[in-house]
Amino acid sequence: MEKEKTEGRRSGEELSLARRLARYRESGACPMHMPGHKRNSPFLWMEPLAALDITEIDGFDNLHEARGILREGMERMARVWGSRRSFFLVNGSTCGILAGIASLTRPGDAILMARGCHRSVYHGVELNRLRPVYLWPGIDPETGIQESIRPEQVEQAVEAQPELRLAVLTSPTYEGILSDLPAIREILHRRGIPLLVDEAHGAHLGFSAGFPGGAVQAGADLVVQSLHKTLPSLTQTAAIHVCGDLADPEELERQLSIYETSSPSYLLMASIDSCVRLLEREGGERFAAYEERLARFGEQVRALENLQVLGYGRDSLDRHPGFWKKDPGKLVLLPRQRTQSGAWLMEQLRQRFGIELEMAQEGYALAMTSLCDTEENLNRLAEALKVLDGELEASENSVWKGTSESMRNVQAETWKHHREQEVPPLLLWSWEVLERPGKAVQRQDAVGRVMAEYLWAYPPGIPLAVPGEQVTEAMVARWRQMEQAGVALHTSSGRWKDGQLLCLADTGGKNG
């Protein structure tokens, strides 16, 4: 009985895709079709999974022309999230972002986008030859974390650029910071500009009162979510939801047929289907229990003196007015005196406590949680933080005890300075550069040249430099500083590890 409940089976007609695959495996059908492993390949070392791995055979529908079980699954997803229409994605949020941008723009359009967007948004710009107008998020003075995009920024931008055709924002960010999407949508919709939200990190936001609602509830026109990042679903699984009136589901579907594989994995789709069914059936109770576990974690870290967990324990979001709201599921861990880097913290937790974090930046490290985290997981992290906190205490003065104002001022100045260094002169559009010959140069010789590739820290995959931007001395110094703090940088050409950057062969841009 219990087994039936957890697998979501109520009647023969409502078998989940996963159970239908299991039943099909038992039927003994002879597979004279793809995939090539034929469900008979012990050398894959994945027999249980391979046995369920099929293609579009009779009775299993077709993602790109869904009429059966996949269509029912996507309709269920739309009901659960409250969207007009929802689509399963098996190529991650990346393909949803590319298809979404293509569906809402024409080549050459001007678009408004947060400079903190993921690289897939930049690739959408490049592929559609768009002209981006950037919204630079502020930097929280105490932590160095990118703040929310403010509605006033959006208002100013649309006033100044009446020809904007689309706005793309990331909310929440990697660190869990949300922007005021209801207010931003209102500003954009008054001018008929659609809003696409990259909610790769926020698929879980709308299921209980303890989490800030997500972009679907805010009425964004298109919302892209990585189910695999924050919900129980396999890597690569994602969704795109059509919510507002300014998006056209049919054009989106056409673009998905371009950007998404024509051989979608049934394992991935079964995993999406099971995830949606779980949320429909037990989402409320599971999120309530998750919230309680996070609250208990918050109690445990209240004692920390030298480590800080953003918005938890003795910290509160009121201390960071640039954050509109924050996802409580993201645990941003900061050594308070900044004498230690985020990479140090990540390394300590890995080496000494067997805890692997999601990422580290200069000033902080990020632990991601989900409703699948056990109480033991969270206790283990809290206990490890307490041990490290005690060790730091021996040599540091706690900011909670004093000195905080001057410390905060020094930090605020540092981040402001970094931000000024990060805004490079834009000489050409990315797609103009990529049509011209490039030349690999030594990093230090790149100053004054025009970037012909992307440079990013991965994660979070936000470009530090974009093709068409001119490299300044301050930028090179800043990248060096980030690397010294243990942040891993990458370029599209992969030459960074050899000390090189791809720049335009001729140094000149529009001004040069």
Ligand X SMILES: Cc1ncc(COP(=O)(O)O)c(C=O)c1O
Specify the stretch interacting with ligand X by CB under 6 A; choose among 65-73, 133-141, 331-339, 455-463: 455-463
Q: Least Å distance between CB 124 and ligand X?
A: 11
Per the DSSP assignment, residues forming a β-bridge with 169 are: 197
Specify the stretch interacting with ligand X by CB under 6 A; choose among 184-192, 196-204, 257-265, 421-429: 196-204
Cα 419 from Cα 407, distance rounded (Å): 18
Q: Which residues contact 143 (CB under 8 A, 6 or more apart)?
A: 310, 320, 332, 334, 363, 364
- With contact defined as beta carbons under 8 Å apart, do 489 and 507 qualify? no
Closest CA to 202 of 190, 214, 219: 214
Cα 158 from Cα 166, distance rounded (Å): 10
Q: Least Å distance between CB 267 and ligand X?
A: 16
Displacement of CA 320 from its chain's centroid (Å):
21
Interaction residues for ligand X, span 304-333 (CB under 6 A): none
DSSP string, 264-311: --HHHHHHHHHHHHHHHHHHHHHHHHHHHHHHHHHHHGGG-SSEEETT
Give 17 or 457: the residue with its C-beta nearer to ligand X: 457
Q: Which of 100, 138, 151, 460 is close enough to bind ligand X by CB under 6 A?
A: 460
Q: Least Å distance between CB 16 and ligand X?
A: 22
Interaction residues for ligand X, span 144-173 (CB under 6 A): 170
Specify the stretch interacting with ligand X by CB under 6 A; choose among 90-98, 106-114, 306-314, 422-430: 90-98
- With contact defined as beta carbons under 8 Å apart, do 222 and 194 qualify? yes
Cα 96 from Cα 220, distance rounded (Å): 14
Displacement of CA 41 from its chain's centroid (Å):
35
Instruction: Examine residue 264 and say whether the peptide bond preceding it is cis (omega within 30 degrees of 0).
Output: no
Q: Which of 105, 120, 153, 179 is close enough to bind ligand X by CB under 6 A?
A: 120
Q: Does 116 bind ligand X (CB under 6 A)?
A: no
Give 307 or 310: the residue with its C-beta nearer to ligand X: 310
Instruction: Tell me the site size for ligand X, rule CB under 6 A.
Output: 15
Specify the stretch interacting with ligand X by CB under 6 A; choose among 29-37, 88-96, 243-251, 308-316: 88-96
Closest CA to 310 of 254, 242, 363, 256: 363
- With contact defined as beta carbons under 8 Å apart, do 430 and 122 qualify? yes
Q: Does 174 bind ligand X (CB under 6 A)?
A: yes
Cα 348 from Cα 83, distance rounded (Å): 43
Q: Does 92 bind ligand X (CB under 6 A)?
A: yes
Q: Least Å distance between CB 95 and ligand X?
A: 7
Give 18 or 200: the residue with its C-beta nearer to ligand X: 200
Specify the stretch interacting with ligand X by CB under 6 A; choose among 160-168, 339-347, 454-462, 482-490: 454-462
Binding mask 234-263 for ligand X (x = CB under 6 A): ----x-------------------------
Q: Least Å distance between CB 249 and ligand X?
A: 21
Interaction residues for ligand X, span 392-431 (CB under 6 A): none
Give 93 or 361: the residue with its C-beta nearer to ligand X: 93
Q: Least Å distance between CB 96 and ligand X?
A: 8
Q: Which of 148, 153, 226, 470 is close enough to bind ligand X by CB under 6 A?
A: 226
- With contact defined as beta carbons under 8 Å apart, do 307 and 334 qualify? yes
H/E segment holding residue 111: strand 110-114
- With contact defined as beta carbons under 8 Å apart, do 365 and 345 qualify? yes
Give 92 or 194: the residue with its C-beta nearer to ligand X: 92
DSSP string, 404-444: HHHHHHHHHHHHHHHHHHH---B-S-HHHHTTS-EEEEEGG
Q: Least Å distance between CB 174 and ligand X?
A: 5
The DSSP letter of residue 263 is S
Q: Does 93 bind ligand X (CB under 6 A)?
A: yes
Give 141 or 461: the residue with its C-beta nearer to ligand X: 461
- With contact defined as beta carbons under 8 Å apart, do 201 and 359 qualify? no
Binding mask 197-216 for ligand X (x = CB under 6 A): -x-xx---------------
Per the DSSP assignment, residues forming a β-bridge with 197 are: 169, 223
Q: Least Å distance between CB 461 and ligand X?
A: 5
Specify the stretch interacting with ligand X by CB under 6 A; choose among 10-18, 23-31, 195-203, 387-395: 195-203
Q: Does 301 bind ligand X (CB under 6 A)?
A: no
Q: Least Å distance between CB 269 and ligand X?
A: 15
Please count the residues of the chain: 512
Judged by the rule CB under 6 A, the positions of this chain that interact with ligand X are 92-94, 118, 120, 170, 174, 198, 200-201, 226, 238, 459-461
